Structure 1
């Protein structure tokens, strides 16, 4: 068995794990953004709260 063949099984689970974690982070950011957006006068739309929420989630992750 070559080293490349041995590395392949490890690659897939790590990729799937990153995908699942990215989905969780995105979902959390969407939930935060919706909560912030629904609590405002809604004049600015949902994009600014979504960007802010994603930045906050990313910053929290970087601090860990």
Structure 2
């Protein structure tokens, strides 16, 4: 759990840093931020489309047994 939390924190920090670097230039910064958002959403969509059949159709991932 700690590794997952650390990985998510690093990912969020890097994403924010990259968006900040794209925003620094005065000219065309809105366009760069727009495309950064487009590709972020596109990546989320592709990930959801790929993982949905693995979870819902092929049942590749299942819940762990409950603790007693």
The TM-score normalised by the length of structure 2 is: 0.46
Select the structure that is richer in helix. 1
Using CA pairs under 8 Å that are at least 6 residues apart, name the structure with larger relative contact order, 1 or 2.
1
